[in-house]
Structure 1
Amino acid sequence: MGRFIKAVLVTLSVFAALGCDYLPRSASWPLSDEQTQQWLQQTPNFYQGVKAAYAQHQVVAIGDYHWNNRVMAEVNGLLQHPEFLHQVKQLVVEFGNARHQQAMDDYLNGKTDDELVLDAARRDALFFTAWMPEVYADFFKIVRAYNLSVNEEKRVKVWLAESPFYWERITGHDQWQQAANHKTDGFVNAAQQAMASGDKVFMVFGAFHLLNIEPQPKTGALPMATLLKHAYPNKIFTVWPITEPQINEALSSLAVPSLLPTAVPAASELKLVDILPKARIRLGRLDRKEDSVQKLIDGLLYVGPSERLNQFPESIMQDQAWLTEMEARLNIVGGRPLSAFKEIVSNSALAN
């Protein structure tokens, strides 16, 4: 029993040293009803909010919440707005390996109707399991449909932001880790190429890539948006998705979807860790746990009640060769990606 008590005390001391970042927490909305209502009264719908952002910025970047199809469904809905793709001609996305850029260009411009590129671009990504839901393939299909409906000079370009990567050349974890450590370089490069066109640019990346960390810390890998905002001041507007049930309840009077600008007094009193407690770990590495949403991001995307699915589409579960290949790759990666894959496969099998 003495050893057990000692082990418990050691565990608690570790939690204390980590600032309790690993203890369970629930999201909260600390603002008063008056503060909330004042903020909501200044909140436009998603399209109008994006349009207002483009009036002052070249780039609008939306944060994706992997395995929550609701967020990407609203992004896809935005693409289908009658005016959106008439105004925004450069799209940059995380969910695609640039080794397939030419094939994707051909597909999006109608030079081929081979949809295999939609699978190849996503399946060859570093974190390919995140991009298996069909909502990401739908993104490309929507762009293709638009491009084939307009003259060539009005067509949209989609940049696959992940640097060319070849799974068939990976034999050990260190090779994969090296590519993962430098993935932000590819993201920044793709964004810069899109911005160099002078066109309006729309980007979709995992939400943590879009944090603005100022002043920049001496240690820790900086998010893509931090690097871009430093290089291109006042040109980029970043948006964080709201998915926690407690926050959805506080904002339930809003239309779905809506974009809450953070350039309001109330946003200075709301911390990102309030609306997403698990962000404490990543923000802690950058010494930004106490930062408000106003400091870290430019807008909040409200999509209404949503949940993570944690299930592969039926088409994936029926593709035994691909399931085997995924597991082989993830045995190289190891850690959380491997355990998450096994959990998703198990959930999917039970659902089907």
Structure 2
Amino acid sequence: MKDESSKVRRLSRRAVLAATGAGAAVAAAGVGSAAATEAAERGGRFVEGVLRAFARHRVVAVGEVHGQQEHHDALLMLLADPRFAGVVDDIVVEFGNALYQPVMDRFVQGGAVEDRELRPVWRNTTQSPMATWDAPMYEQFFRTVRAVNWPLPADRRIRVLLGDPPVDWSRVTTRGDVHTAFGDRDGHMASVVLREVLAKRRRVLVCYGSRHVMHALPGEQGGGGIAQIEQRTGERAYVILAGGHERLASLPGRSLLPARGTWLRGADTSEFRYLPGECGVPFGAVADALLYLGHVGAQTQSLPNPAIYLDPAYWAELERRKRIMGTPIDLVKQYRQEQSVVWPTPPAPEC
């Protein structure tokens, strides 16, 4: 655990802004001028933007695009940046079952963890069998945190908190067990952040699907995990959502654009590809910044190796879970057949 009083561990807001060379950009974005809008449309870089956000917020949430390689490439660049471990204490992820938190703690601290112990972290979540998280980028995420921690003193290492409810699939035998065991996924994530992060005055990066990290609309109660945290504490998180828009085609990939002081603030969320937007909802109401990963249609998928599912025990368990859940998923088509890595271009919503 990190020492909260450590001067080495903490960077001040001024120090982070200086380290990222971002002071002038932040000041310009705040006044909402035409020059600031133009600068924002040119785009800052993702890593620098996240570090700036941590100078002002203890919770920074990134809406993860499940299975998208470029999104995780950006996340790995963030994790590997030498400044990151200086401003972040914890990372909360959707793609991990909290039942295995002791396993993950040992693993990211550098302990010897057998693969058969580690794999259940992502294979046994509430999202199985619809999503096994067997795509290599998820395991790579955990292994990158372990590598980042390796040279650091024990009290400065980043902790990975598994945010999915602690379901024990060996005890799930009926559909009724599903509702009992799975519980409130967003509520569980919120409780993890409240208990393990905010109560300890720590700072956290939250990596969850976009709907889980959006701000609640004015007057809305409940909502995703981040919205619940904000409602229960009054503490504002900084929310980054990934999406594409025709106005951004000239920008380089991994550009980060603030909503404040730019056209993004009032743009309808339905105009963005990859973003789970709704007609009539302005982007600035649900997020603070947009992560632009590149031209729509140029994204790729991270796909699991079909050979994984030739393991008879694992395959039988996926089929058992499918029967319990009653899901219409075609396991053979989804997991045992080769698929193109080209990310399917989502259709534009009709408003």
Question: What TM-score comes out, normalization by structure 1 length?
Answer: 0.77
Does residue 232 in structure 1 map to residue 233 in structure 2?
Answer: yes
Instruction: Tell me the amino acid that sits aligned with residue 80 of structure 1.
Output: A
User: How far apart, CA to CA, are the structure 1 residues paired with 2:293 and 2:312?
Assistant: 34
- Report how far residue 262 of structure 1 moved: 1.1
- Report how far residue 100 of structure 1 moved: 0.7
Residue of structure 2 equivalent to 1:254? 251
- 1:95 touches 1:131 (CA, 8 Å); kept in 2? yes
Instruction: Tell me the amino acid that sits aligned with residue 249 of structure 2.
Output: S
Q: How does 1:76-225 map to 2 (within 5 A)?
A: 76-128=76-128, 129-192=131-194, 193-217=196-220, 222-225=223-226
CA offset digits 1:228-260 (Å, max 9, x no partner)? 122233441111111x5xx2x532332321211
Question: What TM-score comes out, normalization by structure 2 length?
Answer: 0.78
User: How far apart, CA to CA, are the structure 1 residues paired with 2:300 and 2:169?
Assistant: 27
User: How far apart, CA to CA, are the structure 1 residues paired with 2:87 and 2:115?
Assistant: 26
Q: Which one of the candidate residues 297, 303, 314 is aligned to 1:322?
A: 314
User: How far apart, CA to CA, are the structure 2 residues paired with 1:348 and 1:317?
Assistant: 12
More helix by share: 1
The CA RMSD measured in Å over matched residues stands at 2.7
Instruction: Tell me the amino acid that sits aligned with residue 272 of structure 2.
Output: I
CA offset digits 1:43-101 (Å, max 9, x no partner)? 31001111111121111111111121221221122100121122211111111111111
- 1:92 touches 1:161 (CA, 8 Å); kept in 2? yes
CA offset digits 1:82-131 (Å, max 9, x no partner)? 21122211111111111111111111112324233331111110113251
SS at match of 1:131: coil
- 2:210 touches 2:276 (CA, 8 Å); kept in 1? no
- Report how far residue 261 of structure 1 moved: 1.0
Q: Which runs of 5+ in 2 are unaligned?
A: 1-33, 342-351
User: How far apart, CA to CA, are the structure 1 residues paired with 2:198 and 2:299?
Assistant: 33
SS at match of 1:332: helix
Residue of structure 2 equivalent to 1:266? 263
Does residue 292 in structure 1 map to residue 282 in structure 2?
Answer: yes
User: How far apart, CA to CA, are the structure 2 residues paired with 1:199 and 1:350?
Assistant: 41
More contact order relative to length (CA 8 Å, sep ≥ 6): 1
- Report how far residue 204 of structure 1 moved: 0.4
Q: How does 1:29-68 map to 2 (within 5 A)?
A: 38=38, 40-41=40-41, 43-68=43-68
- 1:211 touches 1:296 (CA, 8 Å); kept in 2? yes
User: How far apart, CA to CA, are the structure 2 residues paired with 1:334 and 1:66?
Assistant: 22
User: How far apart, CA to CA, are the structure 2 residues paired with 1:106 and 1:278?
Assistant: 35
- Report how far residue 169 of structure 1 moved: 1.0
Which segment drifts farther, 291-300 or 82-91?
82-91
User: How far apart, CA to CA, are the structure 2 residues paired with 1:88 and 1:331?
Assistant: 41
Residue of structure 2 equivalent to 1:348? 338
Which segment drifts farther, 133-142 or 167-176?
167-176
Give the paired residue count: 303
Identity of aligned residues (%): 23
Poorly superposed stretches of 4+, deviation over 6 Å: 34-37
Q: Which runs of 5+ in 1 are unaligned?
A: 1-33, 284-288
User: How far apart, CA to CA, are the structure 2 residues paired with 1:211 and 1:119?
Assistant: 29
User: How far apart, CA to CA, are the structure 2 residues paired with 1:146 and 1:279?
Assistant: 32
CA offset digits 1:118-149 (Å, max 9, x no partner)? 31111110113251211111111111112221
SS at match of 2:44: coil
